[in-house]
Amino acid sequence: ADYELDGHPDFLSKEIHEQPAALRRVLAGRLDTRFATARLDGLRLDPRELRGIRRVTFLGCGSALYAGQIGAGLVEELARIPADAEQASEFRYRNPLVDPETLYVAVSQSGETIDTLAAVEELQRKGGRVVGVVNVIGSAIARQCGAGMFLHAGPEVSVASTKAFSSMATSFTLLALLLGRVRDLSAAHGTRLVEGLRRLPDAVETALQSSDAVAEVARRYADARSMFYLGRVRGAAVAREGAQKLKEISYVHAEAYAAAELKHGPLALVDAQMPCVVVVPDDELLAKNISTIEQIRARGGPVIAVTNAELPDGLADAVLRVPRLEPELDPIILGIPLQMLAYHCAAVLGRDIDKPRNLAKSVTVE
Ligand code: G6P
């Protein structure tokens, strides 16, 4: 029954709309209200070991890499330890420095991606501590890691990752919360996050209700030859994943930039034929993002703003709104309209949505 379309035109539509249920499963049994933290027993790390971790490095490919970038931002913000995300496909060829005080997190929906598996094996050969964040139980990466977190997002059939991606980002929020709570993160801050996470599936449900508005925007811009996706800090990885989705399923070229980099080169390409999708969280960088939008429009570039903030009237050509929860959860919620935008652009252009040309759901050979 898991593999049926349930009235959806394709699996991508089904999987996008399954996200509230998938996130409920990711969170099930993992929120500890009493101690304002997360319970991740599958990591097999006791509080002393958690305290001993000096850095977190996420490893993955494609959407799993972008999810890892969200995770790195969360770990840095909540646990105040350095964190980064690396392309698993490059890692093993680089003769990487493997640090015994780093927690390596291998991220993979399928658990079968050869580049990620090879990175895990190389890490283990060099004595690195690696845990898996994987959707498919019994998969090669899950077995090779032997510890970690299953997403329980359910089967993902469509090549473009959606519910697995948001489930990964949610699981990294749990990890960052746990790492924060054995360090300086206060119980009050922990409680705010636990409550926010509990409400996350409903907020995603609300975000999904704007599908018709997104479809309308897609009809206006799907014939673009290229688009920019821009975001800063909490919006940066969201923009990268949004651009990736558009490329994958609609074949429209898209490039993501940190918003502040725009003036260091890509602004030269902005004109009426270059729609710019700007991710605008309602956070301390709101004024900066508004000024980015003004700079684009001053060059005639159409702007699609994806936001949970109140924007001045007429600031952007199109505004896709999502609910506001806790700022730490912004990347997950702001990513939802970008999935739908890619979906509707692909639909307008008549693409084979579940099976884009040249791509495989998981790449198990080099
Ligand atoms: C392929 C898919 C991507 C996916 C990537 C990583 O390239 O086309 O959508 O993000 O593999 O897959 P994984 O199963 O390791 O998450």
Q: How far is the CA of 156 from the centre of ligand 1 (A)?
A: 11
Per-residue confidence band for 253, with pLDDT thresholds at 50, 70 and 90: very high
Amino acid 21: pLDDT: 98
Find the mean pLDDT for residues 327-356.
97
Question: Which has more confidence, 360 or 240?
Answer: 240
What ipTM was reported for this prediction? 0.94
What residues contact 313, with CB distance under 8 A and at least 6 apart? Answer: none
DSSP-H helix ranges across the chain:
11-17, 19-27, 47-52, 63-79, 88-91, 114-125, 140-145, 163-181, 187-208, 211-221, 236-250, 286-298, 330-348
Q: How far is the CA of 252 from the centre of ligand 1 (A)?
A: 19
As given in the structure block, the two tokens for residue 351 are 């693409």
Per-residue confidence band for 366, with pLDDT thresholds at 50, 70 and 90: confident
Residue-wise pLDDT tens digits, 272-313: 999 999 999 999 999 999 999 999 999 999 999 999 999 999
Q: How far is the CA of 249 from the centre of ligand 1 (A)?
A: 13
Is residue 1's pLDDT more than 60?
A: no
> Out of 227-231, 265-269, 304-308, which region has the weakest mean confidence (pLDDT)?
265-269
Amino acid 94: pLDDT: 87
Residue-wise pLDDT tens digits, 35-59: 999 999 999 999 999 999 999 999 9
Nearest to 334 by CA among 276, 259, 280, 255: 280
Q: Which of 161, 171, 245 to mutate to test the pocket of ligand 1 (most atoms within 8 A of CB)?
A: 161
Per-residue confidence band for 365, with pLDDT thresholds at 50, 70 and 90: confident
DSSP per-residue letters across 249-317: HH--EEEEEEGGGGGGTGGGG-STT--EEEEE-SSTTHHHHHHHHHHHHHTT--EEEEESS-PPTTSSS
Question: Which has more confidence, 230 or 365?
Answer: 230
Is residue 2's pLDDT more than 60?
A: no
Amino acid 95: pLDDT: 87
Task: Please tell me the residue having the least CA distance from ligand 1 atom 3.
Answer: 62
With a pLDDT cut of 70, the percent of the chain lying above it is: 99
Is residue 104's pLDDT more than 80?
A: yes
pTM for this prediction: 0.96
Amino acid 92: pLDDT: 82
Q: Estimate to the nearest angstrom the gap between the alpha carbon of 358 and the chain centroid.
A: 23
Q: How far is the CA of 63 from the centre of ligand 1 (A)?
A: 6
Closest atom of ligand 1 to 62 CA is: 10
Residue-wise pLDDT tens digits, 192-211: 999 999 999 999 999 999 99
Q: Which of 58, 108, 109, 241 to mutate to test the pocket of ligand 1 (most atoms within 8 A of CB)?
A: 109
Mean pLDDT (the chain, rounded): 96
Residue pair 88/72 in contact by the 8 Å Cβ criterion: no
Q: Answer yes or no: 361 catalytic.
A: yes
Q: Which of 58, 110, 358 to mutate to test the pocket of ligand 1 (most atoms within 8 A of CB)?
A: 110
